[in-house]
Amino acid sequence: MSNEHQNYDVFLSLGGHDTRYTFTGNLFKALCSKRIKTFFREDEYHLKSHTNDTQISPSALKAIQESKISIIVFSQDHASSPRCLDELVTILESKMMNNQLVWPIFYEVEPSDVRNQRGIYEKAMYEFEDRYSNERMKKWRKALFEVCNLSGWFYRGYEYEYKFIGMIVESALQSLPRYDVFLSFCGEDTRYTLTGFLYNALRREGFKIFMDDEELEGGNQISQTLMGAIETSRISIVVFSENYGYSPWCLDELAKIIECMKTKNQMVWPIFYNVEKLDVCNQTKSYGEAMTAYEKRFGKDSEKVQKWRSALSEITNLEEGEHLSENEYQHECIERIVERLINIEDGKKHIGSPLLAPMNNE
């Protein structure tokens, strides 16, 4: 599976060969099981230098810069890997530039040994002095010192590892401001039927869903919370029903969804529930009546109405979608959608204690 051209939630910096198939591998699997897109390059450990200044591959560099969280596993082998040290320097630089979260994990190594380069870290730095430039060595030493000022975890080896991993995963879930799916729907038509059942089916599979269950009163504008939820969702599912077009709130959501589809390359899946696609796209029947009423209310040249009409017309260009009529089983439609989402998420996985206070200087 290719790693290229993907946005990641977490960059997982391998602590060394000693944790690849144990702790770090288990952490990676646990993150993916919660649908947290994680970069973990399993085949990079023995790569030669890509340039004279770094051993980070272009794909890893891009993943570091775009990930919201970088998790660095410090283990016995970590200091003996120039690639790990180069990643550490780049991660801290990206943190300064992009305000990213960086979480160090000290796996059976003392944080003070990392900070002050003692023990195995002192030995590694000594062996590198004859092989790498003074400038590069200074960057490594500075990064090892500075990373210990960040909040992180310390695993001493006498606690259940799965519980320790669970705390890290839970913190990641709470720190990632995004949703897997945004559901746009007309409450009076589908809240207690199709959309409600779809929400529960997706939630059972572990998807994080934004489904606003409170209708706005007529004339109220879509909230910034909803705008933010649309922007941070990976996929928007729009349930077009008979009264969807009569809701200015729904149409504002749709306009924002189409905007994010174009500017952020987000996926949009329409579901046509007891309405025809052409009636939505061409604004006929209930959708035509709704648009005519809006033109009388806001004027034919209203920018708002034109934006709504354009968003409805854009649905014509979407290949994905489901059509559900009254004589079809809703559960079959829901099963298809859930299965498709699972396949997409699985295809994007790359096989490739509370937060502690900053450590004290010693």
In a domain, 159, yes or no: yes
Residue among 65, 63, 71, 90 nearest 8 (CA): 63
Say if residue 195 is in the same domain as residue 232.
yes
> Active-site residue among 87, 231, 253, 345?
253
In a domain, 55, yes or no: yes
Contacts of 344 (CB under 8 A, 6+ apart): 235, 267
* More confident position, 288 or 34: 288
* 248 pLDDT tier (thresholds 50, 70, 90): very high
* 358 pLDDT tier (thresholds 50, 70, 90): very low
> If you average pLDDT over residues 66-86, what whole number do you get?
91
- Angle among Cα 92, 169, 60 to the nearest 5 degrees reads 40
Say if residue 24 is in the same domain as residue 170.
yes
Say if residue 241 is in the same domain as residue 311.
yes
In a domain, 3, yes or no: no
pLDDT of residue 45: 43
* More confident position, 3 or 245: 245
Lowest mean pLDDT among 79-93, 174-188, 211-225, 312-326: 211-225
Say if residue 18 is in the same domain as residue 144.
yes
Q: Which of 175, 195, 212 is the last residue of a domain?
A: 175
* More confident position, 339 or 51: 339
Say if CB 139 and CB 89 are below 8 A apart: yes
> If you average pLDDT over residues 101-118, what whole number do you get?
94
In a domain, 204, yes or no: yes
In a domain, 185, yes or no: yes
> If you average pLDDT over residues 320-342, what whole number do you get?
87
Residue among 293, 286, 288, 226 nearest 253 (CA): 226
> If you average pLDDT over residues 346-359, what whole number do you get?
42
**Distance, C-alpha 235 to centroid of its chain:** 11
In a domain, 156, yes or no: yes
Taking residue 355's Cβ as centre, other Cβ atoms within 10 Å add up to 14
pLDDT of residue 2: 34
Helical spans, DSSP H, in 246-322: 248-263, 277-281, 285-298, 303-314
Residue among 77, 53, 46 nearest 132 (CA): 53
pLDDT of residue 42: 58
* 81 pLDDT tier (thresholds 50, 70, 90): confident
> If you average pLDDT over residues 166-180, what whole number do you get?
88
* 264 pLDDT tier (thresholds 50, 70, 90): confident
In a domain, 333, yes or no: no
Lowest mean pLDDT among 219-223, 228-232, 342-346: 219-223
Q: Which of 175, 190, 224 is the last residue of a domain?
A: 175
Say if residue 19 is in the same domain as residue 135.
yes
Q: In what order do the strands lie in the sheet with 10-13?
A: 38-39, 10-13, 69-74, 101-107, 153-155
> If you average pLDDT over residues 213-241, what whole number do you get?
76
Say if CB 107 and CB 19 are below 8 A apart: yes
Say if residue 192 is in the same domain as residue 241.
yes
pLDDT of residue 214: 53
Say if residue 199 is in the same domain as residue 305.
yes
Q: Which of 112, 143, 175 is the last residue of a domain?
A: 175
By residue range, what is the domain housing residue 281?
Answer: 179-328
State how many domains the chain has. 2
Say if CB 232 and CB 177 are below 8 A apart: yes
pLDDT of residue 362: 41
Say if residue 190 is in the same domain as residue 171.
no
Say if CB 49 and CB 194 are below 8 A apart: no
* 326 pLDDT tier (thresholds 50, 70, 90): confident
Mean pLDDT for all residues in the chain: 85
pLDDT of residue 200: 95
Lowest mean pLDDT among 91-105, 139-153, 213-227, 276-290: 213-227
Give percent of the chain above pLDDT 70.
86
In a domain, 349, yes or no: no
Query: Given a cut of 50, is residue 4 above it in pLDDT?
Result: no
Query: Given a cut of 50, is residue 101 above it in pLDDT?
Result: yes
* More confident position, 266 or 238: 238
Query: Given a cut of 70, is residue 252 above it in pLDDT?
Result: yes
Give percent of the chain above pLDDT 90.
58
Say if residue 85 is in the same domain as residue 32.
yes
CATH of the domain at 195: 3.40.50.10140
pLDDT of residue 157: 83
pLDDT of residue 316: 80
Say if residue 168 is in the same domain as residue 189.
no
129 in catalytic set:
no
Taking residue 285's Cβ as centre, other Cβ atoms within 10 Å add up to 15
Say if residue 14 is in the same domain as residue 40.
yes
Say if residue 31 is in the same domain as residue 167.
yes
Q: In what order do the strands lie in the sheet with 233-240?
A: 209-210, 179-184, 233-240, 267-273, 322-324
Say if CB 321 and CB 271 are below 8 A apart: yes
> How many angstroms separate the CA atoms of 242 and 275, rounded?
6
